[in-house]
């Protein structure tokens, strides 16, 4: 889908026309002319209520925190919102050992002269992009300090050794926070108070089926439902801490279906896409059992795809 087709798609998904009109007005008031493209993401986000809440918050100028377990579509939602606002996205991952100078930028030598090399946050807030602060709860304190003036009413970036920079007015922030059953690093209150929060629902059977049918229009209807049920089984075992999050991999499930379409058996494909990601033998056996209960290992293209 192009960005335009994706925006139209949401009209059909029941996103309110007034809200779509407000988003269109935002795009018109803030036309994007930069080099970076506004790309439509791989998937639409399925979940009209969440999409409505999130888009409303961003149109109101709020910073958005998406909190939820793995594979609830946090990053996909952020990408969808960027398309609706017509601004490109900068993804800043806090998962790695990110420090302030990486985020903002630093002085470097170029041809014997000192010059400032901007970091991703600097680039994003000068261009007025959508800044995804990914897994913000993993950030080191030093990196968090940068965010405080950025995210409150000052809307300024302090560049050490240089001036304060006012954010481009179209700049929006979407933070994501993974929390699981194996413990969560929390955000401090000062930072949390700068956000509105959406707790991301776990995709249920209907969202999963829509997603599968979107990706594979020729997937048999009954199989689509089986796949959704299978993924929910895996999630249940994950929540009960019987398996880790490794096999709870929606991307891996889609990949497995792609392999089946190209001729592998369900057993081979699911082992490569999902259960092979469990390196603990016992866990792998358990994940394999869960799948075998729903899906015969010798099924292939004919049983799974129509036509």
Ligand X SMILES: Nc1ncnc2c1ncn2[C@@H]1O[C@H](COP(=O)(O)OP(=O)(O)O)[C@@H](O)[C@H]1O
Positions in the binding site for Mg ion (CB under 5 A): 74-75
Whether 245 and 266 have beta carbons less than 8 Å apart is answered as no
β partners of residue 113: 110
CB closest to Mg ion, residue no: 75
Give 13's DSSP letter: T
Comparison of 99 and 205: residue with beta carbon closer to ligand X: 205
| Closest distance of CB 15 from ligand X, Å | 13
User: Measured in whole angstroms, how far is the alpha carbon of residue 5 from the centre of its chain?
Assistant: 20
- 45 lies in the binding site for ligand X (CB under 6 A): yes
Comparison of 63 and 75: residue with beta carbon closer to Mg ion: 75
Comparison of 74 and 194: residue with beta carbon closer to Mg ion: 74
Whether 120 and 133 have beta carbons less than 8 Å apart is answered as no
| Closest distance of CB 75 from Mg ion, Å | 4
- 250 lies in the binding site for ligand X (CB under 6 A): yes
| Closest distance of CB 55 from ligand X, Å | 14
Q: To the nearest 5 percent, what fractions of the chain are helix, strand and coil?
A: 50, 15, 35
Comparison of 26 and 45: residue with beta carbon closer to ligand X: 45
Q: Which does 16 bind (CB under 5 to 8 A by kind): ligand X, Mg ion, none?
A: none
CB closest to ligand X, residue no: 73
Q: Contacting ligand X (CB under 6 A), which of 63, 72, 137, 275?
A: 72
Give the C-alpha separation, 265 to 263, whole Å: 7
- 203 lies in the binding site for ligand X (CB under 6 A): yes
**Dihedral of CA 5/8/12/14: which sign?**
positive
Give the C-alpha separation, 300 to 21, whole Å: 45
| Closest distance of CB 302 from ligand X, Å | 26
Rounded to 5 degrees, what angle do the CA atoms 11, 16, 21 make? 80
Q: Which does 47 bind (CB under 5 to 8 A by kind): ligand X, Mg ion, none?
A: ligand X
- 46 lies in the binding site for ligand X (CB under 6 A): yes
- 223 lies in the binding site for ligand X (CB under 6 A): no
Comparison of 46 and 270: residue with beta carbon closer to ligand X: 46
The interface region with ligand X, picked from 44-52, 157-165, 258-266, 272-280 by CB under 6 A, is: 44-52
Rounded to 5 degrees, what angle do the CA atoms 76, 286, 178 make? 30
- 76 lies in the binding site for ligand X (CB under 6 A): yes
Q: What is the DSSP string of 253-295?
A: HHHHHHHHHTT--HHHHHHHHTGGG--SHHHHHHHHHHHHHHS
Q: Contacting ligand X (CB under 6 A), which of 211, 266, 290, 291?
A: 211
- 216 lies in the binding site for ligand X (CB under 6 A): no
Radius of gyration of the chain (CA): 22
Whether 223 and 304 have beta carbons less than 8 Å apart is answered as yes
Applying CB under 6 A, the residues found at the interface with ligand X are: 43, 45-47, 70-76, 176, 203, 207, 211, 250-251
């Amino acid at each position: 889908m192009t960005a335009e087709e994706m925006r139209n798609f949401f009209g059909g998904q029941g996103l309110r026309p007034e809200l779509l009109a407000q988003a269109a007005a935002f795009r018109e008031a803030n036309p994007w002319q930069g080099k970076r493209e506004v790309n439509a993401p791989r998937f639409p986000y399925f979940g009209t209520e969440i999409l409505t809440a999130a888009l409303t918050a961003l149109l109101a100028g709020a910073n958005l925190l998406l909190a939820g377990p793995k594979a609830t579509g946090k990053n996909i939602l952020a990408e969808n919102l960027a398309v609706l606002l017509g601004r490109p996205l900068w993804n800043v991952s806090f998962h790695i050992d990110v420090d302030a100078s990486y985020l903002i930028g630093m002085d470097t030598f170029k041809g014997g002269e000192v010059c400032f090399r901007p970091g991703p946050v600097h680039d994003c807030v000068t261009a007025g992009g959508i800044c995804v602060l990914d897994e913000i709860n993993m950030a080191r304190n030093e990196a968090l300090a940068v965010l405080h003036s950025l995210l409150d009413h000052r809307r300024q970036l302090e560049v050490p050794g240089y001036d304060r920079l006012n954010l481009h007015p179209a700049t929006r922030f979407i933070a994501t926070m993974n929390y699981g059953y194996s413990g969560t690093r929390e955000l401090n209150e000062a930072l949390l108070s700068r956000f509105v929060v959406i707790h991301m629902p776990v995709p249920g059977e209907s969202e999963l089926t829509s997603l599968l049918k979107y990706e594979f229009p020729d997937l048999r209807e009954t199989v689509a439902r089986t796949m959704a049920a299978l993924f929910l089984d895996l999630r249940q075992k994950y929540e009960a801490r019987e398996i880790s999050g490794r096999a709870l991999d929606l991307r891996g499930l889609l990949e497995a279906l792609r392999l089946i379409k190209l001729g592998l058996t369900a057993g081979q494909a699911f082992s490569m896409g999902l259960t092979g990601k469990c390196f603990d033998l016992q866990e792998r056996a358990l994940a394999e059992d869960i799948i075998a209960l729903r899906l015969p290992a010798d099924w292939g293209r004919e049983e799974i795809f129509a036509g």
